[in-house]
Amino acid sequence: MISIQGKGVSTGVAMGPLYFYQRAKTSITRETVADTAKEWQRFKAAQAKAIDELGELAEKARAEAGDEAALLFETHQMMAEDLDYEESIQGLIQDEALNAEAAVADTAEQFATMFAGMDDPYMQARAADVKDVSTRIIGILSGAVQGGIDSAVPVILAADDLAPSETVQLDKAKILGFVTEGGSGSSHTAILARTMGIPAIIGVGNQIKKEYAGREVIIDGTKGVVIVDADAATKNMMIAKMEEQRKTREMLEALKGKPNVTKDGHSIRIYCNIGSPDDVSSVLGNDAGGIGLFRSEFLYLNCDDYPTEDYQFEAYKKVLSDMGDREVIIRTLDIGADKQIGYFNLPKEENPAMGNRALRVCLNRPEIFLTQLRALYRASAFGKLLIMFPMVTSVWEVKEAKKLCERVKKELTAEGKAFSDDVKIGIMIETPAAAVISDRLAKEVDFFSCGTNDLTQYTLACDRQNADLGRFYDPHHPSVLRLLKLVCDNAHKNGIWAGICGELGADLSLTETFLSIGVDELSVSPRAVLPLRQKVRETNVAVVRDKIIEDLIG
């Protein structure tokens, strides 16, 4: 038995085979092959697998969105087995002894050029379809794994650390828990694990060895421990813990459908933070009242180029319609700082956390922002949308962003496109500047949501990604809590509401404080909804409020 100590960043116990994340290779090598018949067979096998995969995607799309949605994948299937396409690949392999990867790439280029050269813009855009299909076949040929995991059974996923673009593409159904070499408690892997409600252990360094791959491991996210080849006694103990976990879960299940009301009749809204439309099922599954923070970055991270208005529209529309009449707060693009996207070509900065990020990028490059706003407003016709701007520091920024919203609404009206005329606009309060002038900002918007991760980092001048600064990064610091109180007071004086959508919202040791300072909404990861509801229902604000406020401002 091998026991490895790391840092637990998402609680729970999980057991399963260890699997190392497979990164896709991106470049293709050109080679001459000796056995062209064998190479052709290799292509045929990859082609068959691609057709199978596309068939599965088509069925999935059909089940979720009907025949029309499935047709895209069916067209891709037909492209993969198109006679001319196949003939061209066969020619390159058999006559020029080219390896299959390069033969597919060349053929893709040739067909893409044909489409790109047509005079119809619709047909020109089909070049992307041929390339997409070809990339899939090349991926299979070169052993790359879709979503990074090639396993029939769910696994404990090990990685050095995962980039945001990697976490969004993971096949979530295959993951029981995470173990990473590096990372911090606010890293994307940690956030994802908490959203999924599975354990995660970070910072195990080189203790997790490649040779453990495939062996049974048990991870305990509460203790931050990874056990490889557990002995019978340890295994039984962990199984007992998993059983206990299941019982707690059952007890929490009983809270579904119950209101978030304190003993003395105070109610608070409990919403969820999500990062992808796939998370909606866990939002509803945990009986959250709405979505308090939908990070729209996933759309940008998932693409190799700026996502189009239609692409974004479909994604927003899906979330809004899935959520029905529940509120969905979508945060506009928040990139820069620790979330970088290649095609944005943002210059490297000395100090990215204080640099060109979030709303600043959007106001500096309005064409990108307008595309997103158009997609958002169009989607607003399908549910209850609220739009939220990140990283605000000044009133003028909010005014400028709102002007762009007005422009979009005018454009859509002129084009005869439907949108809701009741889209509320809010901002994130995540800089000390915004908190301090929240009285003025409140006059411009319909709501506030405090992003406590950044608010803490900026208030304390303390990098949240730096593992060495753990004890200095204190979200319970009175300066942070006083700012939160100030924001709530200023919101209420101006007749708007204030929420918290940072990790702190789920911190049960602060629930009484939040209720006492009048926080109207807490947005937390789906798994935290029911424990938080339980805590709210056990609290009597009238009893605790005076002392909490006195301790805070006294």
Nearer residue to other proteins within complex by CB, 19 or 111: 111
SS3 540: coil
Q: Which residues contact 84 (CB under 8 A, 6 or more apart)?
A: none
Q: How far is the CB of 140 from other proteins (least distance, A)?
A: 20
Q: How far is the CB of 50 from other proteins (least distance, A)?
A: 15
Residues 106 and 90 sit within 8 Å (Cβ to Cβ): no
Q: How far is the CB of 458 from other proteins (least distance, A)?
A: 49
Which residues share a beta bridge with 524?
Answer: 272
**Cα-to-chain-centroid distance, residue 161:** 15
x-or-dash pattern for other proteins, window 93-112, by CB under 8 A? ------------------x-
Return d(Cα 461, Cα 45) in angstroms, integer.
55
Considering the candidates 188, 405, 450, 488, report the single residue annotated as catalytic. 188
Site membership for other proteins, residue 253 (CB under 8 A): no
Q: How far is the CB of 81 from other proteins (least distance, A)?
A: 9
Residues 419 and 412 sit within 8 Å (Cβ to Cβ): yes
Applying CB under 8 A, among 34, 122, 173, 347 the residue interacting with other proteins is 122
Nearer residue to other proteins within complex by CB, 119 or 250: 119
CA angle (180 as vertex; 175, 186 as ends), nearest 5: 95
Residues 304 and 341 sit within 8 Å (Cβ to Cβ): no
> Could you tell me the two tokens for 81?
């087995």
Nearer residue to other proteins within complex by CB, 129 or 489: 129
Give the dihedral of Cα atoms 426, 484, 222, 182; nearest 10 deg.
70
SS3 547: helix
> Could you tell me the two tokens for 388?
């939220």
Applying CB under 8 A, among 129, 314, 446, 489 the residue interacting with other proteins is 129
Active-site annotation holds for 477:
no
The DSSP 8-state label assigned to residue 126 in this structure reads T
Return d(Cα 317, Cα 302) in angstroms, integer.
17
Which among 122-130, 272-280, 432-440, 543-551 is the span making contact with other proteins, rule CB under 8 A?
A: 122-130
Which residues share a beta bridge with 4?
Answer: 226
Nearer residue to other proteins within complex by CB, 1 or 71: 71
Q: How far is the CB of 99 from other proteins (least distance, A)?
A: 23
Site membership for other proteins, residue 84 (CB under 8 A): yes
Residues 376 and 317 sit within 8 Å (Cβ to Cβ): no
Nearer residue to other proteins within complex by CB, 3 or 113: 113
> Could you tell me the two tokens for 212?
């453990």
Residue 78, amino acid: M
By CB under 8 A, what part of segment 58-77 binds other proteins? Answer: 71, 74-75
Which residues share a beta bridge with 336?
Answer: 339
Q: How far is the CB of 89 from other proteins (least distance, A)?
A: 13
Which residues share a beta bridge with 540?
Answer: none
The DSSP 8-state label assigned to residue 304 in this structure reads S
Site membership for other proteins, residue 79 (CB under 8 A): yes
Closest CA to 444 of 426, 429, 421: 426
The secondary element (H helix, E strand) that includes residue 337 is none
Return d(Cα 310, Cα 319) in angstroms, integer.
14
Applying CB under 8 A, among 20, 21, 43, 85 the residue interacting with other proteins is 85
Nearer residue to other proteins within complex by CB, 63 or 78: 78
Applying CB under 8 A, among 95, 119, 350, 468 the residue interacting with other proteins is 119
Nearer residue to other proteins within complex by CB, 85 or 377: 85
Site membership for other proteins, residue 78 (CB under 8 A): yes
Applying CB under 8 A, among 120, 325, 415, 550 the residue interacting with other proteins is 120
Active-site annotation holds for 266:
no
Q: How far is the CB of 121 from other proteins (least distance, A)?
A: 10
Q: How far is the CB of 82 from other proteins (least distance, A)?
A: 5
Applying CB under 8 A, among 114, 128, 436, 544 the residue interacting with other proteins is 114
Nearer residue to other proteins within complex by CB, 138 or 483: 138
User: Residues in the site for other proteins, rule: CB under 8 A?
Assistant: 71, 74-75, 78-79, 82-85, 111, 114-115, 118-120, 122-123, 126, 129-130
Q: Which residues are catalytic?
A: 188, 501
